[in-house]
Every structure is written in structure tokens, then in C-alpha cells.
Amino acid sequence: MITTDPSKNCPFQQTVVNDCYDVIILGAGPAGTTCAALLAEAGRSVLVLERALMPRFHVGESLLPRTYSTLQRLGLLEKMQESAFPKKYSVQFVTETGKITKPFYFDEYIPHESSQTWQVERAEFDLMLAHKSVENGATIRSSVHVMDALFEQDRAVGVKIKLKDTTSGNEEVREIACQVLVDATGQSAFLANRLGLKQADPLLQKGTIWSYFKGAIRDEGRDEGATIIMQTEGKKSWFWYIPLSDDVVSVGCTGSMKYMFPGNGSTSDQIFQRELAKCPEMQRRLENAQQITEYKTTKDFTYRATQTAGPGWVLIGDAFGFIDPVYSSGVLLAFASGEFAADAIVEGFKNDDLSAKQLGHWNELYALGLSYFKRLVYGFYAPDFSFASFFRQYPECRNQMIDILMGDVFKPDLESLFKKMGPVVPPSDIDVAS
Ligand SMILES: Cc1cc2nc3c(=O)[nH]c(=O)nc-3n(C[C@H](O)[C@H](O)[C@H](O)COP(=O)(O)OP(=O)(O)OC[C@H]3O[C@@H](n4cnc5c(N)ncnc54)[C@H](O)[C@@H]3O)c2cc1C
């Protein structure tokens, strides 16, 4: 099911034919391929350069309902509806005391098919998006080493890459020119690192350990595909439970980096079991389950770049910014920024304006959406803040919360929720470590 087998035939092995493209996109995750598909559809020549062999494994399986509009725009809704990806109607939280709260059913809020979304195996989902961009006319070259981004003064003008012939093993170094360079390299943040633009959030330096299980207890009916977020006793970490197809469940645990991985020689299994012991509801669900992959670990450091765009370049998806995974916002943000950037680039070509201002004019609205997620994440981690008590006091804010949980964040009218929440700050990494 979840495959990282590099010997699998990669469909994107064709050589790079041209020396010049309108747009080069680095990275074939959801941000890069969305942007590529829309640019190619608008008639631009697009080259996507991906480091990995596709299909490649990726964490981040739970979608938000607002991904619907991007999937619709890409013409992929029918494929999603026909797929075996479990349908997700809700998200549910379990408190640190083990209280199972009422699920947030999205269609109770908006009774429309767009309120139902999916839990996806990313290798398959990302491949579907990649195929779409190729169908629209983009070229994808997988397994490419991007050596450098080429600039003339501060304007991006191309890339230097190393290509390896898969049959002969011969290597070739090439320079390929473009008018716009889009960085969609995910957490590698190729350009933001190169240009020194990345700014970490010191309060959200988290680490995650996760694995996949078969035979875990699943709910039934509409709840079968729900994401469940369970806090552990003491609120120092939380588990996700994401049901995938074929009876597989993705289970991960996130906490402060220093708390999760204190560097005392604990194995991944010991860390996972240590946290599982503090989460009776997850224990119940996994009691008879069989673990089917090794543990994986990652740093989930929240960060964002100080700039979205420059002359001839744009940052999208995680390459611009990443927010803690608790609200499953990553793919939605990748889609949204891929769309915003594609529209800005198409307009820029039309008006002969590929300036930073034109390519990044969507930044303000996008950053606002990001900030909603981030402030909700702060509330989730703050030891003295309880959403349940907050909604008892301000029931009128529940709909705003659901807006964010659904991913409907690119609008200004959610500020009043945070005004009422007041300054809510999570503890620093050091406070949580002990
Ligand atoms: C623990 C964890 C859990 C998560 N859970 C969820 C979830 O449930 N739901 C959700 O929506 N999001 C989740 N996310 C976030 C989500 O995975 C990302 O936000 C999303 O994948 C971002 O898409 P992207 O296209 O920007 O980057 P990616 O999907 O990371 O794609 C970037 C691509 O660029 C390639 N690349 C990297 N460097 C280079 C290079 N130098 N040259 C060429 N190519 C390169 C990579 O191989 C990759 O294919 C989670 C993240 C973490 C860490």
C-alpha cells in the first residue's frame, strides 16, 4: 500500500528536451503540481524538477474540505469520488482527561458535497496530481539533482541541474533558463534557505513519531473516515488517528522536540509506547492492531519565509511556510498557494510584469490564512486554554472555528475569534521538555 520502492517504474524519466521554459518549478508535491497544471493549462511552458523518484512516500494524509475547490478546478473531483480513499466527514478531539468530544461534522455546517473530503495515501494522490499537470502540458523530470538557482542580480533566471541517465548511469550537468522560478520543494525550502529568508517560530519546535497499523478499531458509518486528535495525559503530546484505505490507519504522536526526542538513547518504539501509555483511547483502538511499517520520525518546526516572491521567483507550499500538523492544513495551503502563484504568474506574463510585487501580490491574504491556523495551533498547545470552555462562553464563535477546521481561511472576518480568545501562548520548548 504505502510504497517507497525506488525500483518501481517512474513515469517521469524522460530527458529534459528544451534549454528554456517560461516557468521552472522545483518539487512535485501538491503545491508544485497544482501550480504546474494551471500554468500549463494557461498555455505557459512549464518544467517541474523533482528530486525523488515518483511515486514517493509522503506524510500528510488528511485533507480539509476546502481542498474541494482546487480539486474541482483541476478537474480531479470525479477521480477522487471514484477512488478508494476513505471519505472524511468530520474531525473529533479527545481531551487529555480522555473525554471524547462531539465530532465537528462539516456538513452540519455547510450541507453541500464539498463538506466531505478524503484521507489519502500521498504517494498515490501526489502521482494523480503530477499526471494531471503532464496531461495539461507540463513536463516533469523526476530524480533530478538541482545544484543551484541561477540569478542575474536579484532576478531568478534559471537553474543548474545534474541529470543521471537511468540505463547508462551517465551524468550530465545542464543549465536551464526560465522567466519565473517557483520553489515548491516542501520543507527543504531550497530558495528560502539559499536566500536566508526562513524564520522559525520558537514556540512551535515540534517532533513527530508515526507508523501505520492494520486491524485497529475503526468507527462505523460516517465516522469511519474521521480524523481523531487525542491529547495525552499531561498535554505534552497528542496523537493523530487517520484511517486510510485497505484497513490501514496512520497513527502519529507529536510533542515538543526536546520532550519527544530527549537524546537519552530511547528507541522509537520506547518513545511511542511511552506516549501511548498516556492515551487510553488510542491504546483501546490499537489493542489488537498489527504494526505494518517501521516508525518514522520528523521535525515539525513551524516556520515561514519573510518574503513570498522576488523578481522572477515565488515560494509556495511548505517551501514558503509550514505550520504544525495538528489541523491538517498542509495540503490545503499547498493547493491555495499553488493556485495563487499560478494566477499571479499568468497575469504577470500577460502584463509583461514579473516583478516581486506582481508575483507575490497574494501574500497578504495568504499570510492572514496562515496566521489563523497558527493562532489556533497556539490555543491547542496552551496549557491554560480550553476550546470547550471558550465555546461555552462564546458559542457564536463555533462557526468561525469550523471555518478554520474546514480550511475556509482566506478572508478577513475571522479576526474577531482571536480577539475574543485574547493572547494565547503555548509554553516554550524548554518548559515542556521536563
Ligand atoms: C508529521 C506531519 C504530518 C502532517 N499531516 C498532514 C495532514 O494530515 N494533512 C495535511 O494536509 N498536511 C499534513 N502535513 C503537511 C503536508 O505534508 C505538507 O504541508 C504538504 O505536503 C506540502 O506540500 P508541498 O507541495 O509544499 O511540499 P511537499 O509535499 O513536501 O513536496 C515537495 C517536493 O519537493 C521535492 N524536493 C525537495 N527538495 C528538492 C530539491 N532540492 N529539488 C527538487 N525537488 C525537491 C520533494 O521530494 C517533494 O516531492 C503533515 C506534515 C507533517 C510533518
Q: Is residue 432 domain-resident?
A: no
Helices (H), 351-428: 356-359, 363-381, 387-393, 398-406, 415-421
CA distance 393 to 147: 55
Q: Are residues 75 and 113 in the same domain?
A: yes
Name the helix (H) or strand (E) containing 39.
helix 30-41
Q: Is residue 71 domain-resident?
A: yes
Q: Are residues 238 and 286 in the same domain?
A: yes
Residue owning the nearest CA to atom 35 of ligand 1: 27
Q: Are 329 and 373 in contact (CB under 8 A)?
A: yes
Q: Are residues 283 and 416 in the same domain?
A: no
Tens place of pLDDT per residue across the chain (434 aa): 333 344 456 777 666 778 999 999 999 999 999 999 999 999 999 999 999 999 999 999 999 999 999 999 999 999 999 999 999 999 999 999 999 988 999 999 999 999 999 999 999 999 999 999 999 999 999 989 999 999 999 999 999 999 887 677 788 899 999 999 999 999 999 999 999 999 999 999 999 999 999 999 999 999 999 999 999 999 999 999 999 999 999 999 999 999 999 989 999 999 999 999 999 999 999 999 999 999 999 988 899 999 999 999 999 999 999 999 999 999 999 999 999 999 999 999 999 999 999 999 999 999 999 999 999 999 999 988 888 889 999 999 989 999 999 999 999 889 999 999 988 888 876 555 44
Identify which of 185, 205, 242, 254 to mutate to test ligand 1's pocket (most ligand atoms within 8 A of the CB): 185
Q: Count the domains in the chain.
A: 2
Q: Which domain holds residue 62?
A: 1-87+107-201+302-427
Residue owning the nearest CA to atom 4 of ligand 1: 60
The alpha carbon of 187 and the centre of ligand 1 are apart by a number of angstroms equal to 6
pTM exceeds 0.85, yes or no: yes
Q: Are residues 262 and 376 in the same domain?
A: no
Q: Are residues 239 and 311 in the same domain?
A: no
Q: Are residues 183 and 83 in the same domain?
A: yes
Q: Is residue 225 domain-resident?
A: yes
Fill in the amino acid letter for 365.
L
Atom number of ligand 1 nearest to Cα 146: 42
CA distance 412 to 398: 17
Q: Are residues 31 and 49 in the same domain?
A: yes
CATH of residue 175: 3.50.50.60
67 lines ligand 1 (CB under 6 A): no
CA distance 6 to 10: 8
Fill in the amino acid letter for 153.
Q
Q: 151 in helix, strand or coil?
A: strand
Helices (H), 242-329: 257-260, 268-276, 280-286
Q: Is residue 10 domain-resident?
A: yes
Q: Is residue 434 domain-resident?
A: no
In DSSP terms, 213 is beta-bridged to 249, 291
Q: Is residue 289 domain-resident?
A: yes
Q: Are residues 92 and 117 in the same domain?
A: no
CATH of residue 290: 3.30.9.100
Where among 251, 281, 301 does a domain terminate?
A: 301
Q: Is residue 310 domain-resident?
A: yes
225 lines ligand 1 (CB under 6 A): no
Instruction: Please name which of 293, 236, 287 lies closest in space to residue 269, comparing C-alpha atoms.
Output: 293
How buried is residue 35: exposed, middle or buried, by Cβ count under 10 Å (0-12/13-18/19+)? buried
Q: 282 in helix, strand or coil?
A: helix
Residue owning the nearest CA to atom 39 of ligand 1: 185
Where among 266, 301, 336 does a domain terminate?
A: 301
CA distance 328 to 409: 13
Q: Is residue 17 domain-resident?
A: yes
Residue owning the nearest CA to atom 9 of ligand 1: 328
Q: What is the residue-wise DSSP string for 84-110?
A: -SPEE-EEEEE-TT--BPPPEEHHHHS
Q: Are residues 369 and 409 in the same domain?
A: yes
184 lines ligand 1 (CB under 6 A): yes
Q: Are residues 142 and 1 in the same domain?
A: yes
Where among 301, 335, 368 does a domain terminate?
A: 301
The alpha carbon of 181 and the centre of ligand 1 are apart by a number of angstroms equal to 18
